[in-house]
Amino acid sequence: MTKDQLVRDIEGILQKDTSRMYSKEEILNLLAPKKKDKELEQLLAELEVASSLKEESKSEIYAKCKGGTVYYKWNKS
């Protein structure tokens, strides 16, 4: 599975319920059958950094840390 496919899979999860924030652990569990945790964790970290470098309104994936857990949310309608 390529990195682009993983990003599309993550986007698909987030787009299922655009009002909901998914924790990093939830995403890892949902995609565990497709890819190893280490590779997924690296990709999620990249998405988190990319989100923080863009204005919130311009990022498709919004990442936020609450209480030591990173949450991801789809940010486009």
Residue ranges covered by each domain of the chain: 3-74
Question: Tokens 């569990």, residue?
Answer: 29
Written as six digits, the tokens of 7 are 């990003």
Do 72 and 20 form a contact (C-beta atoms < 8 A)? no
Query: What is the C-alpha separation between 40 and 38, in angstroms, rounded?
Result: 5
| Digit-coded pLDDT (tens) for 5-34 | 999 999 999 999 999 999 999 999 999 887
Using one digit for the tens of pLDDT, what is the confidence trace for 26-63? 999 999 887 777 888 899 999 999 888 876 556 789 89
Q: Is the pTM of this model over 0.75?
A: yes
Instruction: Give the CATH class of 3-74.
Output: mainly alpha
